[in-house]
């Protein structure tokens, strides 16, 4: 039997084409390198050099307004915090060249952020959705009052310092709902409409992900980010305030706070700039241990326009209806020189410092009694109902009619109700967005529930107190009154 020949030509290996294999390897390597470059830029630098494919548009009406990109955010907490956020939102909109969606004034603490210093805050998506739902509820119950109905931004808009649109006009565009629907008495929302509004809120909140040509939901919050502007060499650097080791272990967190330039991250050369709507969560910031909790933009030396706006946003006055009412009360009702006492005694941390708050007022009054004629007139603004004054220092003052004459305003006073009606009738906010409604300014005040403007009138009265002002330490309301007195609002 013939032995098997391993060297026969039939089974001999064909010679390998090394040139072909080399070319194949190079081609595959190039493709891999290109893939990683695209992945790297898209995910790490937010670049639009290699943008991901755009999803089908979810906001066709907004796409017809090519020259307008919008900015929305989630207001929360009490009025003072909401006003602080509003100022920051105006600044962000100006820096990013976007039209600000002016929100309503939310009910006190209807939406809650949490604590930035403790790294315990609501997720931006949750915050946005809660603010959206409460805003729709205010429309439903005819209690909707825009921030622009109580804060005067007319001069900012008239000289084109900022661009704004009322929330209701925006909702009509974004959700494809006739704006007239929000301006009728006995508003009743059917299930289909509520579901449509819920879907709109979900998209704006970021629950549906980012639709690049429609909504970019900002996920950075105070746990991870401090927004800056034009600070050389700081973009991406660590902030001075970080969670300490004890907090990390106790709460099992690993957050790292970085300082980011908002214009670089969300501006013209960013992926976010592709979106018609830029959706922030909270825009509140506060100083803690030498660091701002979320926004650290106090100057812009290389941008004259923004530098000017920073100074203008420092103080935004109430609308004339509120200012005129406060001044009239001080002049016509209190009349004589008076002291203002702002006493926050029930809410949060303040209820534990009642004695110190009363002590500050007593010290001031003891001083005034030495040099002023009696009785000393005192305008009191407090969250402690008069029915609970008995047994407190306020009760003692009220009983000493020979030495003191107290003045107090209530939301049920005709004076306050008439002022609230004037605010509704004027409807300042509906002037901001008529352009998007074919130039037709809507009249949405019929059947409207009177807004709560007591606090704003009280602050104005306190700005007119010629004998001085005693405020509650740590209260943002006291800070607001001090600013009004500094700007001499009463004499304008």
Please state at what angle helix 79-95 crosses helix 304-313, rounded to 10 degrees: 170
Q: Which two tokens stand for residue 226?
A: 């401090």
Q: Residue 187 phi/psi, 5° resolution?
A: -65, 120
For residue 318, list its beta bridge partners.
151
Confidence band, pLDDT 50/70/90 cuts, at residue 349: confident
* Cα→Cα distances 447→167, 356, 464, Å: 19, 44, 33
Comparing 217-231, 444-458, 466-480, the range with the smallest average pLDDT is: 444-458
Instruction: Tell me the pLDDT of the chain averaged across its residues.
Output: 86
* Burial grade of 3 (CB within 10 A; 0-12, 13-18, 19 or more): exposed
What does the pLDDT read at residue 19? 52
* Cα→Cα distances 125→82, 113, 261, 317, 378, Å: 18, 12, 22, 31, 46
Q: What is the DSSP letter of 270?
A: B
C-beta atoms surrounding 262 within 10 Å:
23
Confidence band, pLDDT 50/70/90 cuts, at residue 193: confident
Per-residue pLDDT reduced to its tens digit, 415-428:
999 999 999 999 89
What does the pLDDT read at residue 194? 84
Q: What is the SS3 assignment for 185?
A: coil
* % of the chain at pLDDT higher than 70: 83
What are the percentages of helix, strand and coil residues in the chain, rounded to 5? Answer: 45, 15, 40
Query: Average of pLDDT values for 7-36?
Result: 52
d(CA 152, CA 155): 8
Q: Locate tokens 């007319």: which residue?
A: 154
Per-residue pLDDT reduced to its tens digit, 387-406:
999 999 999 999 999 999 99
Query: Average of pLDDT values for 234-256?
Result: 91
Per-residue pLDDT reduced to its tens digit, 39-70:
444 444 333 333 333 344 456 666 666 678 99
What does the pLDDT read at residue 39? 44
Confidence band, pLDDT 50/70/90 cuts, at residue 14: very low
Query: Average of pLDDT values for 330-334?
Result: 96
Whole-prediction pTM: 0.84
Find the radius of gyration of the CA atoms of the chain.
Answer: 30
Sequence-distant (≥ 6) Cβ neighbours of residue 306 within 8 angstroms: 91, 94, 95, 229, 300
For residue 151, list its beta bridge partners.
318
């Amino acid at each position: 039997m013939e032995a098997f020949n391993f060297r026969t030509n039939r089974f001999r290996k064909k010679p390998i084409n090394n040139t072909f294999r080399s070319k194949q390897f190079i081609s595959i390597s190039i493709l891999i390198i290109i893939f990683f470059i695209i992945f790297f830029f898209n995910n790490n630098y937010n670049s639009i050099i290699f943008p991901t494919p755009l999803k089908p548009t979810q906001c066709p009406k907004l796409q017809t307004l090519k020259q307008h990109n919008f900015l929305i955010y989630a207001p929360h907490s009490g009025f003072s915090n909401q006003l602080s956020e509003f100022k920051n939102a105006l600044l962000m909109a100006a820096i990013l060249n976007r039209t600000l969606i002016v929100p309503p004034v939310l009910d006190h603490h209807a939406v809650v952020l949490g604590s930035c210093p403790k790294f315990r805050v609501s997720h931006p998506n949750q915050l946005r959705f809660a603010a959206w739902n409460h805003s729709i509820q205010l429309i439903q119950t005819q209690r909707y009052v825009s921030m622009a109905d109580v804060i005067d931004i007319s001069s900012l808009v008239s000289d084109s310092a900022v661009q704004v649109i009322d929330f209701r006009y925006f909702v009509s565009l974004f959700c494809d709902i006739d704006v007239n629907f929000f301006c009728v008495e006995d508003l009743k929302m059917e299930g289909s409409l509520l579901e449509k509004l819920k879907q709109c809120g979900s998209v704006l909140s970021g629950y549906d992900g980012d639709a690049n040509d429609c909504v970019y939901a900002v996920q950075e919050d105070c746990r991870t980010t401090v927004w800056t502007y034009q600070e050389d060499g700081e973009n991406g650097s660590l902030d001075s305030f970080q969670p300490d080791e004890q907090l990390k272990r106790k709460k099992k967190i690993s957050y790292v706070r970085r300082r980011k330039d908002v214009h670089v991250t969300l501006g013209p050369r960013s992926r976010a700039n592709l979106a018609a709507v830029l959706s922030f969560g909270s825009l509140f910031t506060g100083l803690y241990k030498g660091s701002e909790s979320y926004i650290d933009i106090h100057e812009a030396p290389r941008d004259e326009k923004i530098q000017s706006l920073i100074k203008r946003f420092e103080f935004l006055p109430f609308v004339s209806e509120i200012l005129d009412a406060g001044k009239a009360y001080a002049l016509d009702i209190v009349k004589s020189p008076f002291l203002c006492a702002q006493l926050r005694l029930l809410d949060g941390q303040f209820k534990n410092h009642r004695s110190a708050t009363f002590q500050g007022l007593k010290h001031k009054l003891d001083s005034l009694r030495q040099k002023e004629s009696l009785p000393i007139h005192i305008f009191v603004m407090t969250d402690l109902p008069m029915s609970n004054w008995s047994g407190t220092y306020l009760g003692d003052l009220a009983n000493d009619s020979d030495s003191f004459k107290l003045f107090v305003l209530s939301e049920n006073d005709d004076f306050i109700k008439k002022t609230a009606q004037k605010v509704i009738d004027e409807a300042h906010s509906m002037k901001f967005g008529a352009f998007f409604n074919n130039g037709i300014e809507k009249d949405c005040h019929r059947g409207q529930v009177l807004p709560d403007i007591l606090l704003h009138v009280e602050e104005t009265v306190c700005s007119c107190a010629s004998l001085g002002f005693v405020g509650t330490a740590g209260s943002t309301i006291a800070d607001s009154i001090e600013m009004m007195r500094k700007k001499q609002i009463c004499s304008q």
